[in-house]
Amino acid sequence: MLKYTLKKKCGHARLGEVRTDHSTIPTPVFMPVGTQATVKTCTAEEVAETGSKILLANTYHLYLRPGHDLVKRAGGLHSFMNWQGSILTDSGGFQVFSLDSLRKISDEGVLFRSHLDGSKHMFTPEKVMEIEMALGSDIAMCFDECAPYPSDHDYVAKAMERTYDWAKRCKAVHHHEYQNLFGIIQGGAFEDLRKISAEQITSLGFCGYGIGGLSVGEPKDKMYEMLEVLDPLMPEDKPRYLMGVGSPDCLVEGVKRGVDMFDCVLPTRIARNGTVFVREGKLVLRNATYAEDHHVIEEGCGCYACRHGYTRGYIRHLLKAGEVLGIRLTTFHNLFFLQKLMADIRLSLLEDRFDDFYKDFFARYRF
């Protein structure tokens, strides 16, 4: 079962450790997203080599293809995808609600049409728990309603109450020998609703808590404001997971406001477009300016691409030629960059110099 240890704090920033049956995860941590039981273009071993101890897989997509029963017969997600570390499965709620015209929400659940073939399906809290237990992840997320931004106060309040009701239903039926259930706090960009949701969800006694409904289009300052509202309202002895956030600046700002866990498709998505993270911000390697740039992506970087001397000019050529190696190299770099960033953050917390790290990071980083 999951065990979280808070080792020390620097201001509101937290240094800790999450233990599951599959791995020990130092926190704060960034989790790569393996939507369909794979981090795009990477083998499980390659993901592990970037320093990743835990990754995320998507309940909605795996339910539709190949099917949770098939994954269960394969021995669960760990065996199916040959991943030795920990796995968190989201509930599929965000994907279902993103279908918009293809779904209908009620207190019972969400009726939706598959984006693959148009077939009808129903997600209820009970059904989602059935799927996640079959997948066998280390951490499962409750089914919640993620209100879009912007939404009015009444709409967000109704979604928040439905999320609370669904959380109770999830907890009532969830049973698994090593899977740990996290509740999700909603409330949009409204301080009063965030406070109510935090009280509701934490009262149910989950193994950890997701912060949902942020990074959905609201200004970053509003997201940071909501994190500051929630920080004193969440249990200190349970991990805190900010869902769907993965840009370097947001990771640093999230840690400053007490977040332990993050995930996002951003590093792999922008890698497929030829964009890479560096200490000063981002480089778009498809740009003509890099055609004759014979430097590695970032000097001193320990990722596979930089360590073995693959240059910006060569990677640009691969990307322009449509060669898969190009997006593999940019993906390796971006995942390694974020894992190194989190490791540097943890070291600064351990050495009581996070404030200096924060100032130094933003002195050079350009959005």
- Residues with a catalytic annotation lie at 90, 263
The C-alpha atoms of residue 37 and residue 187 are separated, in whole angstroms, by 30
Kind of pairing between the strands at 261-264 and 275-278: unpaired
Nearest Cα neighbor of 27 from 238, 291, 327 is 238
The C-alpha atoms of residue 274 and residue 333 are separated, in whole angstroms, by 11
Q: Which residue(s) pair with 89 in the sheet?
A: 57, 140
Q: How far are the Cα atoms of 47, 248, 270, 328, 329 from residue 307, in angstroms, in the given order?
A: 16, 21, 21, 14, 11
Which phi and psi angles does 246 have, rounded to 5°? Answer: -155, 5
The C-alpha atoms of residue 264 and residue 246 are separated, in whole angstroms, by 5
Nearest Cα neighbor of 216 from 128, 94, 69 is 94
Helices (H) and strands (E) in the chain, counts: 15, 16
The C-alpha atoms of residue 163 and residue 140 are separated, in whole angstroms, by 15
Nearest Cα neighbor of 34 from 87, 96, 95 is 87
> What's the token pair of residue 12?
């509101």
Using DSSP's 3-state secondary structure scheme, residue 157 falls into helix
CA dihedral 6, 8, 14, 18 (to 10 degrees): -30
Using DSSP's 3-state secondary structure scheme, residue 356 falls into helix
DSSP symbols for 169-230: HHHHH---SS-EEEEEE--TT-HHHHHHHHHHHHTT--SEEEE-S-SSSS-HHHHHHHHHHH
